[in-house]
Every structure is written in C-alpha cells, then in structure tokens.
Structure 1
Amino acid sequence: MTSLRSTAVIVTFLAVSGGIFTHATGVATAAPNSSTAVPDDGPVDRINETRFPVLWSEDPDHGDRSSTEFESDESTITEFSARLADSTDVSFEEPPEAVETWNSGDIQDFSPGDEERSVHPEGARLENGRYIRDAHASVFAVQPSTVLHAGNSSARYIAPAGEVLAITDYRVRVPDDDTNGSVRHQWSINETAIDGVELRTDDRVLDSDTSHRSVLEYSGLSGTQNLTVAVDISVRLNHKKRTCDEYDNDSNPCDSSWETETEYPTEQVTVTDSRRVVVNQFDRNNGKRVTFENANRTGAVIHPGAMWSTVDVDSDARLRGNWRFYSAGVDGWHTMVSRTETNTTQTNSSVRPAQVHAVPTQNQPDMPSEATAAAEPPLVIENVWGKERDGPSLSDKIDITPVDRYVNTTSVAVRSETLPPVSFDEMTVHGIVHGQSRTVSINDNGTVRDSNLELSVLEANASGAVVQTTVTEKKTGDPITTGRVTVGNQSAAVNASGMAVIELEERPSSVVDGQYTPEDWWRTEHLYSAAEARTTVPPEYPTFQKLVQLVLVTLLWFLPAALAVYGFDYLTDGAALGLRKQQ
C-alpha cells in the first residue's frame, strides 16, 4: 500500500509540473543515465531540478522499476521525478515553459574554437572555401515553438513573435610558408571576423548580430515562413613574396638584394541554416452564448481560431484539447566535433537544445473534472466539429501513445447547469505554442425558448394509424417552423404551420408517444427546446352496419336452436323443460 508520504510526493510533483518553475542550486541526485540522451551537466542553476529529467523523452525507459522505488518514505520530489522519467515519458496538458528556460541558458555553454580550430555539432552542414574552412551556421532553437505530429508529417508552429538561437564557427587555413629557393612566401592572418549574423525570411531581414552565439528576435510574422540564419565570414591574409634575381642554388645566398611584394588575399563565405515554420495565429476567433428559458442552464460555442491546447471558461472549468505535449532533445547535437587542419576529435556535447512536441492522444477534447454520481461536472461537451485526421506514428524511443484517428477540433459546444451565465462572457484560449493565449469575448445569442408538442390521432385501424403533430412556442402559442417530430419509428419535418402528419405502419396498442427535436442551438438562430407528448388511441367501435350484421348473424345462428328446444318442450307438454304449463 502506498504510504501517505509517497502520495504527498506524487501530488506535489504533479503540482510543480503544472506550475511555475523555481530556481535550483544543485543537480539531480538520481543515478546518472548511461545514455547520451540526457545531458551530463544536469540542470545547474537554469532550471528546476525536478523538471530537468522529464525534458529528455528520447532517453531509454526502464519500465521494470518496482513500485517500492516510488513508495519509499525517503524519496524526495527530485528523486521521484528522476525515477519517473527513467521509467516512462511524461506528457503535459500545455507546452512546458522549462524548455525555453533550458535553451536560453544552455546555448551559453558553447565555446567556439579559434583561428586554427572550428567547433560544431555533429549534425552541422559544413562549408569550405579556399581559406575559410569548416564554417557552419547552426540553428540551436526557435522559441517558443512546438513541433506538431499528425498523420505522416510534422510541422513546427511558432508564435508571431519570438527568437531564434544560433551558433556559428569556422577556422582559417593559412598556406604553408616557403623559405627555400629564389622565390619565398610568408603567410599570416591580417584580420578575420564574423561580419554579420542575420535572421531572414524570404523577403526581409528581421534581426542581426556579429557573435558566435546569437539570439535573434522576430515579430509580426504570419502564414508559413522560412526562417534562415545567414552568417557572413571574411578573412584577409598577409602574403609576402620575396624574390632574388641572382640566387646561387648551391650556397643559398642571394648575390643581390631581395625584392619584397606584399598582397592581401581576401575571401568571404556565407553559411546558412533554415527552419520552415507555420505561424499559429488567433484569427477568426469568436463565440456565442445562450440561456435556457425556465431552466438553470447556459450553453456556449467557442471557435478558437487557432491550433489550441486548452480553453479556460472559469477558474474551475477548463476544456482540454486533443493534444498532449512532451519535450525531447534535438538530433545532431549529442556529439560536439572539433576540427583542425590535421586532427578531428569528438566529445559528448554540453550544448544540448530541447524541443517541445505535440501529439493527439485522444480523439476529441474533454473536460477534466472531479464530478461524482451526485454532482454534475461544471461543463458538459455537447458537440465538437472539425476535420477528422489520422494519428501519427512516433519513434520507438518515445513512450507516449497517440490515437489512430482524431478530430482536429475547430469548434466546441458546451453547456453548464452549475456555472452562472456571466462565466461565459469571456473565455481564454491557449495555443499549442507556449505563452500564446487570447481572451475571446462571447456574444449573447438569445434564449432557448420552451416548446409544446400536441398529438392527435386522426385515424387508427388494424393496418396502422395517422397522427397529426403540432409544435408551438409554449409561452406565446406561436407555431414553431423548424425541427422534426418523431412518433414511433417515423419522423417528419414540421411545416410552416408548425404541423406534421405521420403515418404509422402498425396500430399502436393504447397510447402514442411523440418527441420534438429542435435544430441544434449551436447551429441555428431559431432557439427552441425539445418537447415530448403522449396521447391515447381511441377505441375501435364497430359501425351501425356491422352491428346489424352481427344481430342478423346471431339470430341466424341461435334461432334454429331456440325453435328446436321449444318444439321439444312442446311435444312433451312442458314435462321436459318446463317451458309450458302442464294441462
């Protein structure tokens, strides 16, 4: 049985996971992971040490841990977090902020080389010129951003404003000196520099820098963009050429003076790295609210207008979307490579970017609550709509299971019988990109009015029945001209007079039940509630002609028998039956 202390640790960890990240001064105390998926340098002072282990979902998971490891009274929250991350991968309802905190600090760990040595991640694309060698520009992170996985593809979503973190490095190949013969060469570097680091889209420059470690900002983006980091690197060499016209090859002296020429060869190389992104914009977001006549009920429709993670309706009521979020390291950064003209070395990288990912783990949104059998949840989802899509397939390294099919929900209709109508005046939509939210004003769309249904059996016989239905507004008696009426297994739309005639193929036993189904309140401007009614089937009395026929048939059947009995009694002079008095 789980101890009270263990339960408290779990609850506290879950609370920390969903809240603000605190400053930590130590490193995680869990046993080090032998995989290079988790950085060796730990959280240091950049990130909460409880959150650090769950950022690396591609690490090997050991699902065979015993439950006692999680129930120990000696476990701290940090130890519990490390064990949890080592046994499975952790998903979140919203994009974790810790990824940005980690990336912003970790890029500072990059130590560039010098004029003779270039340092780059193993996945970098290298460019070589005549003198500039092993040059690269490497995008470290685009943040905030979320890589969304759907079907057989993925896309990187960003907010309209954010930053691109990038590193760059190179080395200079200086030609060897030649100090023999009548023509001698001496080479050196006059100057070399990173002339500029620019963040570009297809049509403009967004920001610039001149550093090996750059934080480049962007804003006002929309649609689909190519974010490109372009680095201009230049070098200017000093080349001295010494010539002797009267040179003695045998004794190596110059019998005349050396003539010296100096030139300054230059070269410029541009290296780039790009990320294709989709801007997650809140456009066309709106909503409407209705109240129900004579009922403590409110309904609302929200159109988020963007890829969304959650919708806050009230402090105690939140809609949760299809998506769950996890963090993982970025491929190509596990190893850092150092190159010189003659040597290449590799080490485990201390510069490790993390990336937020989103996958659909349920086929449609839900409303997490603590509702019981005796208490209604604060929100009930009436309907959702959007395009149905295939779920993605994730790497075997990720221990999170997506759904096979899901609805990419663009609209949600909800109702509540516990929240006051004022709770629906505004809703806050949170996007799939961290920090992105929009408060949506909800318009009042009117009142769902009570309706009344009347049934009248026009005809009923052995072969069926004909039922006339009339639907009116309960308060005014005006006909309702939208919706459908169902009687038995037959259904019909009401006409302009609020009526419908339904023919039943079988005669009802004694009563007829009917239901009026209005158009969905979230799809129509004609707002009416559902209604039910019951009426009796009148008895099937025989006609006058059939009564006469019955009398005649009865007489024809029983008159001969009566005459025979009377005749027998007559012959016996009343002695047998006593119908006649004896003389």
Structure 2
Amino acid sequence: MHLLVVSVVVIGLTTIIVPVQSTSSEHPLDENETATLWSNDPDTCPEGIQTGDGVGSETAAIRELANCTDLTFKRPPSTAARWSVHDFEELEPGDGNTSVHPPNATLTDSVVIADAHASLFAAHPSTTVHREPDDSPLYIAPTGTVRGLVDYRVRPLENESVDVDPDSGASLRHEVSEVRLLLGGDVLTVTNGSQTPVLAYETNETGRTNLTIEADIRVRLAQGSPATGGTDSDSETTVDEVTVSESIPVRVYGPTVEQFTARYPNGDTGIALYQRQPWHGYSLRGDGDARVRGVWRYYTARDTGWDELVHSRSDGSERVRSDARPVFVHAYPSEIGPRAEPVRDGPTILDVWGTESESPAIELPENVTVDVVEQPYTQSYGLALRTDERTLEGVHVQGIVRGVNTTVTIPDDERVRPLRESELSVELENQSASGATLRIELTDATTGDPISLTDTQGADPVAVPADGERRTGYITVNGERVETNPDGTATVQVREPGSYSVRYHPGSWLSHDPAYVGSTASVSWHPLLTVAGWVAFLDEVVWWSIPFVTALYGGIRIGKFLKYDEYQYK
C-alpha cells in the first residue's frame, strides 16, 4: 500500500498515526489532495511541525493546515472516489483456511463453509447528507460503481458432516460462484468468481431503496484415484453452498426539476425551480455568470469500519491494521438560506420554499470540525428568482452527488407567463374640514380591466405555486394594508392632513394568472385646500379672536377714562 506513517503524535495518553500518501507516481492523488481526506481523524496541531518539503512550501502549508483543522469543499470532490479505487487494490481476501472480514461483518456458518460474508467496501459517486439529527441518508448516483469483499474459510476434510473415504484421494474445491448487485429487488449487475468484485451499475430508479451485494459460495468434493490414472476432477459433488449478502439503505439521486417561467414587462425573466431532493446550486446559462448557491458544503472522511480487518481461522482470530480504507463525501449545511452571486449584480431571490430543520451538528463525529450551522435552517426545495439576463438559455442544476447534474431550458414565449403592468390611481373624495375619503383604483395598464384582490386564483393549473401556498396581493396606504373590491376599487378614510403614499404589492406570479408587477401613487390632503376648510378656518379664527378683541376694546376704553389732561389744570 502506498501509505507511509510519517509521524506519531502523543497527546496525553492517545497515540495518533497520521497517514500521508507516498511519493509514488502510481497514486492518483497528490499530497495536497491526500491531506484533505481525513476529516474524521483527530486534529493535531503541534508547534514547530517539520516536513520533508520545507517549511515554506505550499505542500507543507496545506499539510500543516490539514493537521490543525478539517478542510472543506465548495462542491462534491472526486478525491474520495479516487482514493477508494486505489486503496481497494490493496484489499486481499484470505485463502481457504482464513476468512478476512471487517469487524462489523455479518458472518454465516454452514456444514463446511465458515465465517462467510459479503461486505460493501465503497459505492461511488455518493454523498452522505447530514440533514438533521438522526437523519443522514446516503445518496448514490444513478450510474456508478460498487466494490465489495467476499470471503470465507473451509473446514478441513476431517469434518464429521462430510463422508469421505480417506484412501480415495479426495479434495475440496471452493469458489465464489457468482456475485450480484441488487437495487431493491432488481438485479443490476452479475459477475462471476471474484472475491473482490467491482460492480458497475446503471439504473433509472429514484428515491429510497436498498443497495445489496449478494454472493454465492460453493464447496465441492472432488474424488479421483491417482493409482488408476484419474484426477480429482473425475467426479465432483457439491457438499456445501451458502448465499451471503449485505444491504444498506440508499437514495438514488436524480434531480427532477419542475420549472415555472415568467417575463416581466421590462424584459427581465422570472424563474421558479422545484425539486424534492437536496441541490447544490443553480447556474443561469447565458452571457453572464449569475448563479445561486444552496446551503450545502462538503468534507471527506474515511469509513472507520474498515480501519481494522479480522483474520478468522479454525484456531481463532486476530485483528490487523487494514491496508485499504474507503473514503466518502459528506454534505452538511453551512449557510442559512440560498444566496445569489455575484452579490451586487446577481439574480434577485424572490421566494424560498423548504422545510425548517434542526442543525445536524450534534450528530457529526467528534473529530469532525467544520462550519456547520448551529441553529435551525431551511432545507430548500423550491426557489423563485428574477434575473435581467437577456440571453438566458436555461438553468444548470448542480447536484449534491458528484457528476449528477441536469439542465432545464427556458421555454419559448408561448409557454412563458407574461407579467403585466398595473396602474394604480388615488383621488380625494368627500373632503371636509375633519377628514377626506381616498378612492383607490387598481387596473390593468393595458386593458383597463379592474384588478380584484379578493379572488387571485385562476383556472390555469400552472397558476398553482410550487409549494401549494397561495399568496394574495394587497395595497398599502402609508403602510396600512387594504384590499380592493371586485371592481378593483377601495376607499380609505383619512383624518390627518399630509401626504399619503399608496403602493400595490402584487401576489407571486406563481399563484396568479394573470400576474402583475407592482405600482405606486400618492396624494396630499389638507383642510385648507377646500372651501369648507377655509370657512371652518375663518370660523375658528373668529371664535378664537373674540376674547382678544374684547380685551383690546376694554383696554382702550379704560385707558381713555384714566387719561390725565395736563393742559386742563395749568
């Protein structure tokens, strides 16, 4: 095996063996890639770490970083599969006297056959998705490869269950006669005679099922007499046969995307995408580089069930360090909610549908240190966005399983729902000194037909939103929500003078047909803008001035009465 134990780091009483890839050119991973594989290993960050590449080299820097923390990926990496494929070549089954198996293998004993098993080594491409506590399904690609180990041992001829003449020159022949790969109850692949089968498969199935490796092991008794010139193949009798298997629950990953498209009056495109399975991201195919990233990020970790192998013999068993350890890709939620890129000039996310889920942080292995969300997050399965991309041809859907992607095309204009312009008007009615009535009218800017907000669901089945939720459009007057009647009008009583801003908030184009874009209008009201207001104002002025006029007149009269005439008394 192309692994070297380069360091043993002692922390307290714990000994940690750090595997690092050798410099052999036969290995498909370089040292930087190998350093990223071991997220399930303890992180050891000793001071003054030394490497053969020199302290300042890029390889040394990445290796040192990998020793101190776990490195993660923006997309599902290929390193896990490439490592597992190469390591699988180092997996050697036992001979007829020894059965080699992982410690957790399910063993089967029979008359002559003992410690028989079939164990799944690796299935790639695949991703284990840590969605929430106690929910980490394994998603596999619809086209991939499964590797396994089938082994057993044969009891000696002295076994009392086998009737053999000791002078007959008989011997036992044993073999793995057939290995099958099943998905659910369907056989995908069959191979003959291999104890380390490599089973390529392809399926059109999707959803939850079981992946099973199944093997037939057979022992034959061959009898022949060398004295008569015969061989042990002259006569063969099957004396024992067993079928062994291992099944794991999987979900076949095949993103099936439902698409809803709309066209805004200014030429922008509205797109809604809906799928039940987790998704990595969406890329808008056009002249730009607009894209939307989901919540998932990735790390790679070995399957610790293959760290050791058990060698079982008739006189006992022993555990040895395994030379072959499969590595798998794991996905975890790292961000809350999808986000559009580029941040400033990218598409606008209009709505997100999904399931509120608890953080899976508590279920991750103790030695895995990644930036998993600590609070509840949304597993999104529906997304609506708006883009100004004028040459948009389609949307490339990137899956959470490596290599499993799909592309949906933008339909022609006949299948695109148009978004219409709306016209919002507001007028003052029934003004008085104490208040006024605002009459609001909402109409289709093209046809002049009223837009009613009391019945927003048309008969077109495409109008049903992806998540089944219906949102009604509404109008606000200075933030206060109102709805129009079937004639497309609404009235609002106002008492305070000032400016009133009216805004139409249309419902989602996913749930409305016809669908509209928003519009605004404004109006100002003050009592002094009306004749009645001026009369009321003058009336108030008169009433408020009477006391002051009376006081003024009284003051003048008293002043004249008390005035001193100096000429009269000269």
The alignment's TM-score, normalised by the length of structure 2, stands at 0.78
Code of the aligned partner of 2:90: D
Instruction: Verify: 1:397 aligned to 2:397, yes or no.
Output: no
> How much has 1:188 moved relative to structure 2?
5.2
1:264–1:448 CA distance, 2 compared to 1 (3 A):
closer
Show the counterpart of 1:313. 284
Instruction: Verify: 1:229 aligned to 2:219, yes or no.
Output: no
Instruction: Verify: 1:422 aligned to 2:428, yes or no.
Output: no
Give distance in 2, aligned partners of 1:79 and 1:319.
34
1:408–1:421 CA distance, 2 compared to 1 (3 A):
same
Show the counterpart of 1:256. none
Q: Is the 8 A contact 1:490 1:502 kept in 2?
A: no
Q: Is the 8 A contact 2:127 2:331 kept in 1?
A: yes
Give distance in 1, aligned partners of 2:104 and 2:543.
107
Show the counterpart of 2:460. none
Give CA-to-partner distance per residue, 1:474-510, whole Å, 9 cap, x none: 4565433343221124211123333211234xx3333
Give distance in 2, aligned partners of 1:86 and 1:208.
42
Instruction: Verify: 1:124 aligned to 2:105, yes or no.
Output: yes
Instruction: Verify: 1:53 aligned to 2:50, yes or no.
Output: no
Show the counterpart of 1:82. 63
Instruction: Verify: 1:325 aligned to 2:306, yes or no.
Output: no
Show the counterpart of 1:268. 241
> How much has 1:472 moved relative to structure 2?
3.4
Give distance in 1, aligned partners of 2:3 and 2:156.
44
Larger CA deviation: 35-44 vs 214-223: 35-44
Give CA-to-partner distance per residue, 1:64-119, whole Å, 9 cap, x none: 768x999x995333323322221111222221112222222221211122121222
Show the counterpart of 1:211. 194
Q: Secondary structure at the match of 1:434?
A: coil
Give CA-to-partner distance per residue, 1:381-424, whole Å, 9 cap, x none: 2221122222212121111142232212112122334xx3222x
Q: Is the 8 A contact 1:291 1:421 kept in 2?
A: no
Q: Is the 8 A contact 1:226 1:274 kept in 2?
A: yes
Q: Secondary structure at the match of 1:367?
A: strand
> How much has 1:156 moved relative to structure 2?
1.1
Q: Is the 8 A contact 2:259 2:271 kept in 1?
A: no
Give distance in 1, aligned partners of 2:524 and 2:50.
69
Q: Is the 8 A contact 1:187 1:237 kept in 2?
A: no
Q: Secondary structure at the match of 2:255?
A: coil
Show the counterpart of 2:382. 411
Show the counterpart of 1:303. 274
Residues 143-542 of structure 1 mapped to structure 2, 5 A cutoff: 143-151=124-132, 152-176=134-158, 189-209=171-191, 210-220=193-203, 221-237=205-221, 266-293=239-266, 297-304=268-275, 306-314=277-285, 316-369=289-342, 371=343, 376-392=344-360, 393=362, 394-403=364-373, 404-417=375-388, 420-423=389-392, 425-443=393-411, 444=413, 445-459=416-430, 465-474=436-445, 477-482=448-453, 483-504=473-494, 507-540=495-528, 541-542=532-533
Q: Secondary structure at the match of 1:51?
A: helix
Give distance in 2, aligned partners of 1:366 and 1:545.
58
Q: Is the 8 A contact 1:37 1:329 kept in 2?
A: no
1:124–1:457 CA distance, 2 compared to 1 (3 A):
same
Q: Is the 8 A contact 2:218 2:238 kept in 1?
A: no
> How much has 1:349 moved relative to structure 2?
0.7
> How much has 1:561 moved relative to structure 2?
7.9
1:170–1:559 CA distance, 2 compared to 1 (3 A):
closer
Unaligned residue ranges in structure 1 (runs of 5+): 1-25, 241-261, 577-583
1:52–1:549 CA distance, 2 compared to 1 (3 A):
closer
Q: Secondary structure at the match of 1:421?
A: coil
Q: Is the 8 A contact 2:76 2:298 kept in 1?
A: yes
Give distance in 1, aligned partners of 2:166 and 2:543.
146
Q: Secondary structure at the match of 1:55?
A: coil
Q: Is the 8 A contact 2:527 2:534 kept in 1?
A: no
Q: Is the 8 A contact 2:40 2:368 kept in 1?
A: yes
Q: Is the 8 A contact 2:504 2:518 kept in 1?
A: yes
Q: Is the 8 A contact 2:77 2:329 kept in 1?
A: yes
Q: Is the 8 A contact 1:146 1:356 kept in 2?
A: yes
Larger radius of gyration: 1
Code of the aligned partner of 2:506: P
1:208–1:446 CA distance, 2 compared to 1 (3 A):
closer
> How much has 1:526 moved relative to structure 2?
3.1
Q: How large is the Cα RMSD of the aligned pairs?
A: 3.8
Code of the aligned partner of 2:422: S
1:434–1:290 CA distance, 2 compared to 1 (3 A):
same
Give distance in 1, aligned partners of 2:264 and 2:201.
44
Give distance in 2, aligned partners of 1:194 and 1:111.
15
Code of the aligned partner of 2:270: G
Q: Is the 8 A contact 1:146 1:357 kept in 2?
A: yes
1:147–1:485 CA distance, 2 compared to 1 (3 A):
same
Give distance in 2, aligned partners of 1:421 and 1:399.
43
> How much has 1:522 moved relative to structure 2?
4.5
Give distance in 2, aligned partners of 1:381 and 1:319.
9
Q: Secondary structure at the match of 1:102?
A: helix
> How much has 1:39 moved relative to structure 2?
7.0
Code of the aligned partner of 1:524: H
Give distance in 2, aligned partners of 1:192 and 1:377.
67
> How much has 1:50 moved relative to structure 2?
1.9
> How much has 1:208 moved relative to structure 2?
1.3
State the identity as a percent. Answer: 28
Q: Secondary structure at the match of 1:50?
A: helix
Show the counterpart of 2:456. none
1:351–1:555 CA distance, 2 compared to 1 (3 A):
closer
1:234–1:281 CA distance, 2 compared to 1 (3 A):
same
Give distance in 1, aligned partners of 2:406 and 2:108.
43
Give distance in 2, aligned partners of 1:390 and 1:80.
35
